[in-house]
Amino acid sequence: MRPKSSSIISRKFIQLLQLLEDEELKRFREYVHSPFFNKNKNVANLIDYLAKYHPNYAHLTSEKVFKQLFRGKAFREQAIKNLFTNAKKLLEGFLKQTYFERDEYYSDIALLKILQEKKADKPFFLYLKAIRQKLSNTIVKDVDFYTHELYLTQIEHTQSIIDNKMSKNIQLMQKINKYIDDIYIIQKLRYYVAALTLNQSIEKDNWQMPLLEEILAYLKNNKLLNIPHIALWYQLILLQKAPTEEKHYFELKVLLETYHTEIPKSELRQVYTVLFSYFHQKTIANQNNIFWLEEFHKTYKLGFEQGIFLKKNYIQPARHFRNCVAIAIQLKKYQWAKQFIETYQDKIPINQKENLVTYCTALLHFHQKEFDKCILLLNQYEFSDDFEYAAHKILLNKAYFESHNDYCLTIYSSLNSFTTFLKRHPQLPENTFLSYKNFCKKAEKLTHICESIKLRKSNASVLIELKNLKKEVENEGYLNQRQWFIEKIEERLELLS
């Protein structure tokens, strides 16, 4: 039976093809046109045809593709299936080849193994010497570096057996064991840091990592901490497990300042995630938190200068932009924050840029007491992200409250819409949900008391209400903007006393 014209082309192949960026697609077309990789001209023609529509293939069907490739011939579904099967194998080969080319050391290792198998001693030793030299000049000495050292040493060990050089054989085995230990320990420590970062309650959840305590004890009494990469992850674990012992932070800071060029950006991002969590805890725990805010700011500033948060030339995740601005504003570095927004706004992913720049600019206006400018900006946009919407609503209500204009009715309306939003989003984390809900309640009470002050109601009763509200604010388990509430209440108490 003749298939319907709506028969769908190979989903598996199309899903892979859509992964390719424009430059990669161009290289794939060159790949399939190379007779070394592909001798089927119909497959090459298929890729050329599909490239015209990349990456949107939703409108294409098997019949349309067949008609284009086999003009004037009757439709044969099996022929199309075979073409897509071959195309998929070629694309898989291309992706493997691309990955292989990105890591020149694996290519070098493969070449050495081939030369060794073919017993081409002279070129083998020449290449071995060149690769050794290249590896010794490597700046980033991460787990991949030690893995390459391991592979290279294993090849040398095999060659020593071929050449019957027993003394060298023993030395190389010692090196191999050392590299295996180094790689294992680095990976073990790194993944434990990741686990601690994801789950601070790791112990109560009965999460276990066998041999970890033995490794930590072993490191404490051996020279392996002289290896920067091991020392880094070891220090991060100490910082997370004993955050009150500030010496761990300062030792980690020295390590980062000394060896940051030897650590790849992908791992520095993980280190900074731990540090930011640590700074956040310190600024909450310490009343006099200027020092830790300064450390927070310096670390963010350094991270942006070194491009730590950039992936494909965009800030990822984009929240780093907002956090950096917010910390600078807390330190009253208003000019720096303004300059930062102007410098880095084009590095925000396009779909998040408008909202983030608007919020950060509004936040800057708020802290510079330009409340009407803040309100004007925030009223121009609706935020789609749940957390951004909440941050937007909280800042907007604070700006309404701080403004000299009479916004009482507007505040009630805005708080009501925020409360409705919370009812519609019960999936928010419980602590977050409660902190937002309590913000609405306390903001409504404070607005009501301020109305009473304006209406010149009894000072005695208003004072009692303010003092009661202050106790509620201080004792509330989860409350967003607690310090702001306390400041506003104390301002009114002073005004009435």
**Which pLDDT tens digit goes with each residue over 82-135?**
999 999 999 999 999 998 888 888 889 999 999 999 999 999 999 999 999 999
pLDDT in tens, 10-42: 889 999 999 999 999 999 999 999 999 999 999
Q: pTM above the 0.85 mark?
A: no
pLDDT in tens, 427-467: 888 888 999 999 999 999 999 999 888 877 677 888 999 99
- Residue 384: the pLDDT is 67
Integer Cα distance of 182 and 486 in angstroms: 52
Contact 374, 362 (CB under 8 A): yes
Question: pLDDT band at residue 3, thresholds of 50, 70 and 90?
Answer: very low
- Residue 312: the pLDDT is 86
Of the candidates 291, 226, 216, the one whose C-alpha atom is nearest the C-alpha of residue 258 is: 226
- Residue 248: the pLDDT is 95
- For residue 25, which phi and psi values (nearest 5 degrees)? -65, -40
Question: pLDDT band at residue 6, thresholds of 50, 70 and 90?
Answer: very low
Of the candidates 383, 408, 385, 388, the one whose C-alpha atom is nearest the C-alpha of residue 397 is: 408
Mean pLDDT (whole number) for 205-228: 81
* The pLDDT of residue 7 is above 60: no
Contact 286, 320 (CB under 8 A): no
- Residue 164: the pLDDT is 87
Integer Cα distance of 359 and 339 in angstroms: 15
Question: pLDDT band at residue 2, thresholds of 50, 70 and 90?
Answer: very low
> String of b and e for 136-154 (b: at least 16 CB within 10 Å)?
eeeeebbbebbbbbbbbbb
Mean pLDDT of all residues belonging to the chain: 89
Mean pLDDT (whole number) for 209-231: 85
- Residue 476: the pLDDT is 92
Mean pLDDT (whole number) for 485-493: 93
pLDDT in tens, 354-399: 989 999 999 999 999 999 999 999 988 777 677 888 989 999 999 9
Contact 290, 259 (CB under 8 A): no
